[in-house]
Homo-oligomer: A and B are copies of this chain.
Amino acid sequence: MARHIFRCPLRWADMDAFGHVNNVAFLRYLEEARIDFMFRLAPGEGSASFTGGSVVARHEIDYLRPLVHRHEPVTIETWVTGLAAASMTLGYEVKDAEVLYARASTVVVPYNLAHQRPRRITAEERAFLEEYLDGAVAA
């Protein structure tokens, strides 16, 4: 069971007028981790099709500690917590060596942009995703 590790750079403007990274920016960080996992890594390991489109069906996120802009990236660990015929659920932790800033999960639906409709996960994609499958969400 592997976890995908993405080092996500912050931008100064991710902070809001309260001087913390705004809660919405965290969802952008999850997108960056997902893009890296599904668009960059997946094809390289045998699956080219997620770049054809995918849709977010649901997010859940718990904010645990405030994050302030710094020059070092935060680490986002991503893994697969669920696999169905036409959707997958990803779990994430946003953290660095000492602090867990947020824990989240996203339901992603592969989407055929040309036909504008959801599609099933292929056998090739499933084989890739199963390497990251860990039903147990971190406590």
Chain A residues 58 to 110 lying within 8 A of chain B, measured CB to CB, are 58-63, 66, 69, 71
Q: Which of A23, A40, A61 neighbours the largest number of chain B CB atoms within 10 Å of its CB?
A: A23
User: A60 to B63, Cβ gap below 8 A?
Assistant: no
Of the residues B9, B58, B61, contact of A63 by C-beta under 8 Å: B58
Q: A17 near B: Cβ within 8 Å?
A: yes
Who on chain B is nearest to A111 by CB?
B18
Q: Given contacts A11-B28, A17-B15, A60-B60, are A36 and B69 in contact (CB under 8 A)? A: no
Q: With A and B bound together, what is the CA distance between A2 and B63 in angstroms?
A: 29
Q: A22 near B: Cβ within 8 Å?
A: yes
Q: A55 near B: Cβ within 8 Å?
A: yes
